Amino acid sequence: MPIISISNLSKSFSDGTNALDDVNLEVNEGEIIALLGPNGAGKTTLISAICGLLKYDSGRIKVNGYDTVTEYRRTRKLIGLVPQEIMLEPFETVYDTIRFTRGMFGYPENKELLNNILQKLSLFDKRKQMIKELSGGMKRRVMIAKALSHSPKILFLDEPTAGVDVELRRDMWNVVGSLKSKGVTIVLTTHYIEEAEMMADRIALLNKGQIIFVENKESLMARMGKKELTINFQSPISSIPEALSKYKLALSQDQFSLIYSYDNKASRTGITRLMRDIASTNLILQDLKTSQSSLEDIFVRMIRN
């Protein structure tokens, strides 16, 4: 059974914006799923709907089998949310902030657990400081600590690394990795596609309130990823020689290279034949380079269409 199950979810705002348009999505227990998509695609709206923070027009969301509207208290308790915006009480201490949050979910104080969370986020030394004394990065760490204070089964991270320093990003991904190993389900949105590429098991692409696709990361990259072989010559080529006309080749801007695109999963890439045909011309090879398209290239291509 999926831990989150969304069916036919739609939401438009009073100004007519169609923020979610018949969204269907299932999230499996223990996976990391990345919601990707351009600004305004509906990622935050979708997360807000699952977390029960937004009234939607139609459809249904279940978390661990419970309805997020009629059984809100049960579903909310299972969820930790790190929202896009930092919202904290400036005159509270770090420790009290996370203790209160835990209390709001109906759990008694658990010093060992809370200190453990603070330690993992390098906040332990700051636990007695007031929020207003913290830097922006530290506040973001507190937001994560708050989301973890009631040991949620599902953690939502909405653009967690937008504008944060390298150190915090690394700490954050360490925390995410250790939560995953404990079986926590993680739903994240990010603008940094290479992060999704590194962390996620599955990728869902949103555009204009619709899910374009949901796919296992590896199979997506294998299916969509193209490989390119760049063949560099010693002198410029004015036009592609007749002997090579049967290949799909592109001439580089500086005219020193030919670029050959191929499917790296195919049984025959055509490279051997191409190299033999190049040898039959008077072109003199300088260098060879292969490159694989990243997830980013893939998405830019898809969203343009």
Ligand X SMILES: Nc1ncnc2c1ncn2[C@@H]1O[C@H](COP(=O)(O)OP(=O)(O)O)[C@@H](O)[C@H]1O
Query: Angle at the Cα of 257 (from 256 to 261), degrees rounded to 5?
Result: 165
Residues that bind ligand X (CB under 6 A): 13, 15, 17, 19, 37, 39-45
Burial 98-136 (b: 16+ CB within 10 A, else e): bbebbeebeeeeeeebbeebbebbebeebbeeebeebee
For residue 183, the minimal CB distance to ligand X (Å) is 27
For residue 58, the minimal CB distance to ligand X (Å) is 16
For residue 50, the minimal CB distance to ligand X (Å) is 12
Residues that bind Mg ion (CB under 5 A): 43-44
Residue 212, number of CB atoms within 10 A of its CB: 17
Give me the residue whose beta carbon is nearest to Mg ion: 44
Whichever of 9 and 278 has its CB closer to Mg ion, that residue is: 9
For residue 214, the minimal CB distance to ligand X (Å) is 16
Whichever of 57 and 167 has its CB closer to ligand X, that residue is: 57
Q: Of ligand X, Mg ion, none, which one sits near residue 64, judging by CB under 5 to 8 A according to partner kind?
A: none
Q: Of Mg ion, ligand X, none, which one sits near residue 17, judging by CB under 5 to 8 A according to partner kind?
A: ligand X
Whichever of 185 and 189 has its CB closer to Mg ion, that residue is: 189
Q: Of Mg ion, ligand X, none, which one sits near residue 239, judging by CB under 5 to 8 A according to partner kind?
A: none
Whichever of 44 and 161 has its CB closer to ligand X, that residue is: 44
Whichever of 74 and 191 has its CB closer to ligand X, that residue is: 191
Helix (H) or strand (E) holding 159: none
SS3 301: helix
Check: CB of residue 260 under 8 Å from CB of residue 249.
Answer: yes
**Amino acid, single-letter form, for residue 90:** P
For residue 274, the minimal CB distance to ligand X (Å) is 42
CA distances from 290 to 62, 176, 221, 227, 228 (A): 45, 33, 16, 7, 5
Q: Of Mg ion, ligand X, none, which one sits near residue 40, judging by CB under 5 to 8 A according to partner kind?
A: ligand X
CA distances from 162 to 43, 81, 122, 277, 294 (A): 14, 16, 19, 49, 20
